[in-house]
Amino acid sequence: MKALLSVSDKTNLIEFASGLKEYNIELVASGGTARALKASGLPVTTVEELTHSPEILDGRVKTLHPLIHAGILARDNDSDRADLTKIGAQMIDLVVVNLYPFQKTVAQRYVTLADAIENIDIGGVALIRAAAKNYQRVAVVCDPCDYDLVMRDIAQHGFVSLQTREVLALKAFAHTAAYDAAIRDYLTGVQSAEAPVLTLTLQKVQELRYGENPHQRASLYSYTNACEGPLGGKMLQGKELSYNNLLDLDAAWKAAVQFDQPTIVIVKHLSPCGIASAAELPLAFKAAFACDTTSAFGGVIASNWEIDLPTIEAMGDLFVECIIAPGFTDTALARLAKRKNCRVVEMPDLKVEPDYEYRSITRGVLRQSIDKGDPAMASWRVATQVAPSEPQLRELQFAWKAAQHVKSNAIVFVKEVDGVIATVGIGGGQPNRVDCVRIAATRAGENAKGAVMASDAFFPFPDSMMEAVKYGIVAVVQPGGSVKDQDVIAAADGAGVPMIFTGARHFRH
């Protein structure tokens, strides 16, 4: 057997090539791949040695040669073997190729057009397509994640099975299609919302047990690669995440990373039931949990801070479906290991990617940039005669961030006590805002007195404001912009409640 290797991404290359060599597979490699293999002491034939033709045009042409492509495209029949003999070519059985990092290049902030064009792979795409076309004989590997799959086949059969070759060929054509789409997107400016054509390319990470309900089928796909875990993180323990788990984790994570202080977000059925920030994470958990102790049961917990043992201890015996954070101390993980039914996900950073989101509708897809908060808080203005105090302003800022993650019509009550700032009542997802105020007030109970309130959208009438004042709300933040703004302001002034207009709305349907 003969393998051709030409990879830009050299992840696990040496281990894979060493495994191939153990099964007496001859290695042929181009450029930097050959140099990397030789540096590791592996015997390798360079493409130049095979073709007797040097790389030219600064490496733009190296594998585009009849001896290479004939060796890949030759079928297992006498006629093709005779043609190979005629030109002095040999069959190539395994093609290991991944492409110049065009997507990563154009994602850089100051990339030039020249840099982008130079990272358009030509020879690699031709090799992948040729090998995928001839999958009846040739195996093509374009993703380092598949190295183990190929090695298992070779160890078991002495070759790559047809079933595996079929899977790899489909993945290869998907890979080149995504690559071409990325080039087109960059060169035509398709990242704009007004693009006439939109191409989505995703890689399957796993089949899920079922969707939102057991009779629905579901799968998880990734924008980046199939090797990564859920949300780009790493599963540290627990059984497979469900469709609903993933939705809740995503909602909780997006809320948690928006805050600067150590923060805990508890989400149940896509709705936050508690958000709190404190100097110490266990205090944040206790305050977030206190917001709605009933709904927190069976929810997911997100933290923007490394989770330590005291935080896990603060959870007591609360049943938690999943916990997600940028890190966990060893002692925290040891304690979590005793919670057999709790899934634990570690995130590599605090990023939320990509910068846009999609929703399916009948015969179509909606696309929008994600809501990262207000363009600038400088647009905030005091609409009432009385301005909020500094402590109230701090609470209002927290409440405004929290409200962005609650289903509309979102109402959030917030209070700061002894340096811990937290939601004390949350209402959302109702057809009218007054009902959401009542729900938030019911959850808050006595804690509503002296709390501040945030509303994700304007008050169409003074009724929500008047209802909130009845429960003891002392300051309000809302977008403003209603034709009844003056009536709402008058109601606030009449109650002596300061109110801020942000000028930005945060619907979440």
pLDDT in tens, 262-275: 999 999 999 999 99
Indicate the range of 164-168, 179-183, 336-340, 426-430 predicted with least confidence.
179-183
Indicate the range of 27-36, 186-195, 391-400 predicted with least confidence.
186-195
Given this structure, which CATH class describes domain 234-346?
A: alpha beta
Please state the rounded mean pLDDT for residues 287-296: 96
* pLDDT beyond 60 at 192: no
Q: How far is Cα 230 from Cα 242, in angstroms, rounded to an integer? A: 11
What proportion of the chain, given as a percentage, has pLDDT over 70? 96
Looking at CATH, the fold of the domain delimited by 377-501 is given as Cytidine Deaminase; domain 2 (3.40.140)
Q: Mean pLDDT over all residues of the chain?
A: 90
Phi/psi of residue 498, nearest 5 degrees: -65, 145
- Give the model's confidence band at 54: pLDDT under 50 very low, under 70 low, under 90 confident, else very high: confident
Please state the rounded mean pLDDT for residues 201-228: 86
Q: Roughly what angle, to the nearest 10 degrees, separates helices 485-495 and 463-470?
A: 20
**Which long-range contacts (C-beta less than 8 Å, at least 24 apart) are formed by 441-449?**
441/413, 441/467, 441/468, 441/471, 443/291, 443/292, 443/413, 444/413, 444/471, 447/413, 447/415, 448/413, 448/424, 448/472, 448/473
Report the pLDDT value the prediction gives residue 61, as an integer from 0 to 100. 75
Nearest partner of 409 among 440, 365, 379, judged by Cα: 440
Where along the chain do the CATH 3.40.50.1380 domains lie? 2-188
Q: 187: how many CB neighbours lie within 10 A of its CB?
A: 13
Q: pTM score, two decimals?
A: 0.74
Catalytic position from the list 2, 21, 38, 269: 269
Please state the rounded mean pLDDT for residues 79-103: 87
Q: What CATH number does the domain located at 2-188 have?
A: 3.40.50.1380
- Give the model's confidence band at 60: pLDDT under 50 very low, under 70 low, under 90 confident, else very high: confident
CA 57, 62, 66, 67 torsion: positive or negative? positive
**Residue with token string 């795409």:** 125
Catalytic position from the list 133, 204, 415, 449: 133
* 436-489 residue pLDDT tens: 999 999 999 999 999 999 999 999 999 999 999 999 999 999 999 999 999 999
Where along the chain do the CATH 3.40.140.20 domains lie? 234-346, 377-501
Report the pLDDT value the prediction gives residue 227, as an integer from 0 to 100. 67
Q: Encode 131-162 in three state secondary structure.
A: HHHCCCCCEEECCHHHHHHHHHHHHHHCCCCH
Q: Which residue has the higher pLDDT, 88 or 395?
A: 395
* 64-80 residue pLDDT tens: 788 888 889 998 898 98
Report the pLDDT value the prediction gives residue 195, as an integer from 0 to 100. 61
**And the tokens for 383?**
């609409």
Q: Which residue has the higher pLDDT, 374 or 402?
A: 402
CB 438 within 8 A of CB 421: no
- Give the model's confidence band at 312: pLDDT under 50 very low, under 70 low, under 90 confident, else very high: very high
Check if 65 is active-site: no
- Give the model's confidence band at 375: pLDDT under 50 very low, under 70 low, under 90 confident, else very high: low
- Give the model's confidence band at 182: pLDDT under 50 very low, under 70 low, under 90 confident, else very high: confident
* pLDDT beyond 80 at 317: yes
**And the tokens for 359?**
């929703």
